[in-house]
Amino acid sequence: MGLLSDPQCRRALARLVLRLNTPLCVLSYMLGLGWFLALAFPPLAPRTYMSENAMGSTMVEEKFPLGERALAYGRHFAGHKRKAGGMPVAWLEQTLWLLGLEAHRQPFARTLPFPDESRERFMVRGTNVYGILRAPRAASTEALVLSAPCSDGHLNNQAVGLLLALAAYFRSQIYWAKDIIFLVTEHDLLGMEAWLEGYHDVNLTDMRSAGPLGRAGAIQAAISLELSSDVVTSFDVAVEGLNGQLPNLDLLNLFTAFCQKNGLLCTIQGKLQRSDWDSLAAYAHSLQTLLLMVLAQASGQPSGDHGLFLRYRIEALTLRGINSFRQYKYDMATVGKTLEGMFRKLNNLLERLHQSYFFYLLPSLSRFVSIGLYMPALGFLLLVLLLRISLWGCPTLTPWCCSDPHGALLTPQVSPQEPRPGLLVLVPPVLICHAAGVALYLLPVLGQRVATQHFPVAEAEAVVLTLIAIYVAGMALPHSTHRVLSGAGSARSWQVLKLLALLELSLLLGSLALLNFSLGFVLALTMVPAAAAVHPGGPKVLLVALLVLATPAVTLLLGILMQRELLEVPAGLAEGWQLFLSALAQGLLQHHLYGSFLCPVLALGLYPAWLLLWNVLFWK
């Protein structure tokens, strides 16, 4: 601190940072990337542990003698679903009532902003059915939820059967201190969103539902169950919620503890954890799991029905039963014992889960990386932008336009009489770039009818093609900007424009990482090098290629291809392109249906910032 208080030392340090700016930027970027790759290494990924005292022991004796009854319920549900051609609402209501529960139904309807071709639907109508088991030992002030989606065909029939069998068994017990809600939803996430909005008496997404709902207490935790077979070989747990939200780590630790106690195999991201942590193969396996979680969280899409609970501050997980070719298989009795043990532990909670982590990454189910360990990786990447911004503090030492081929700084050839660039010169490019972002956000959905009237395409295709057309048309903006700016400004105006672009990009990425670290890190990993290197006087072809690769659309395409590689189901270019188009449509639907912020962040924030850098590259 004494050295920094000396003006001469500060001046010398500033000159040193400016002189070594490019090497420091390269070093900072490599440190950020290296730090992230080291997160899968055991010393930086400690073992998980239970923080909540009420759930710290699994010494209770779990019981569930209704395994055969669960299978029978599953068969009956499948038969009535085939007969009804969808959700057997009347049969479910009658069954829940015969079990002694308060049975309720919730009709709902939702018109999509454009047709969902992947599921072939536009006007969606459905009905949710649920039953409430009132707590015999307490007032109805708190509740737990066990849900199962009613899927098409034979999928998830056994999950509904197990849910009904658990309801029958729970009804016979007297130790419940919380209400338990047994919920069967229709139309996947749409049904869950309709039920959550109706239960909490809010309307966030223009969902239409009929009649008041029967209510229990404030929901403390929820488990969504997906089973399509009468036996399972393992359980895959999904944690990613809407906009990258994650449940409290204690809920995941509770599930893992009961799986270990009952001998159930459990995986995350489809990966089974390894025991040999000291081998290179184990590190590569953990890194694959970590990367899959980062890509899933960065997408902002819920990985299961549980993902919508998190927006209401309800801790939730989705458990998927897998029936593979593994030797050991488990019946419904073992699965029911595991769920019964979890609900008994959640029944003991005196307050909401809050003592463990809400921000973490998982290289495996037994190890985690907390926010204090993974944030420095992003900090090193953003430091590159800050180092470039610091160049503006000394205009006589600006390497953006005055450097030799080896990166050494040269004295800029700027006339003393040249006027400093004014802010008015930068208004047109900034306004044009952000207007392009607004058009990218609004026009694809608003203009779908106009597009279908003039072109032989369907509504969904019109939305995606309009989105791509506006995105690509932004590359012509430098020409429009220069026509507006003809004869105005000075030779250094592009430096002020780049300064604004770097400030906007650093603020966007830093703020985004606080909400969704994975999304902020992935975008920083691709956009920071291009933002730091771009300037009008460099090798044009190389910088154009670097900036095109850094655009958010290319990042999305590369992320899709990388995810398929990590899942060991690689996709070719043609299949990858189709997945890319589907991801664009689903991203728009997720925003309009559930409030995902990925679409507005990219269209209104990062795309205009990238266009500003594109203007800098083609500045004349």
Q: How far apart are CA 591 and CA 578, in angstroms?
A: 20
pLDDT at 261 over 60: yes
Greatest pairwise CA separation for the chain in angstroms: 90
How do beta strands 121-133 and 179-186 pair? antiparallel
Token pair for 265? 């195999």
Domains and CATH numbers, the chain: 16-47+377-398 (no CATH), 53-365 (3.40.630.10), 425-619 (no CATH)
404 — pLDDT class (breaks 50, 70, 90): very low
pLDDT digit string, tens, across residues 281-334: 888 889 999 999 999 999 999 999 999 999 999 999 999 998 877 777 888 999
pLDDT at 409 over 70: no
- Torsion, Cα of 229, 189, 353, 298 (10° steps): 100
Mean pLDDT of the chain: 85
Which residues have CB under 8 Å from 409's CB, separation 6+?
A: 18, 19, 397, 399, 402, 403
Q: How far apart are CA 219 and CA 308, in angstroms?
A: 13
Q: How far apart are CA 304 and CA 301, in angstroms?
A: 9
If one counts every other C-beta atom within 10 angstroms of the C-beta of residue 94, the result is 12
Q: Are 23 and 406 in contact (CB under 8 A)?
A: no
**For the residues of 565-607, what is the DSSP string, one character each?**
HHTT----HHHHHHHHHHHHHHHHHHHHHH--SHHHHIIIIIH
Residue 531: predicted pLDDT = 92
Residue 479: predicted pLDDT = 61
Token pair for 61? 């004796």
List the Cα angle 9/10/13 in 5-degree steps: 85
Stretch 87-92: mean pLDDT: 92
Stretch 331-339: mean pLDDT: 91
Q: Percentage of residues in the chain with pLDDT exceeding 70?
A: 89
For 568-594, letters b (16+ CB in 10 Å) and e give: eeebeeeebeebbbebbbbbbbbbbbb
Residue 516's nearest CA partner among 285, 295, 347, 362 is 295
Alpha-carbon Rg for the chain, nearest whole angstrom, is 28
Query: For every residue of 42-64, which 3-state class applies, written as one string?
Result: HHHCCECCCCCHHHCCCCCCCCC
If one counts every other C-beta atom within 10 angstroms of the C-beta of residue 510, the result is 15
618 — pLDDT class (breaks 50, 70, 90): confident
pLDDT at 263 over 70: yes
Entry pTM: 0.90
- Torsion, Cα of 563, 568, 573, 574 (10° steps): -100
Pick from 139-153, 319-333, 468-482: least confident = 468-482
pLDDT at 418 over 60: no
2 — pLDDT class (breaks 50, 70, 90): low
Residue 593's nearest CA partner among 122, 126, 207 is 207
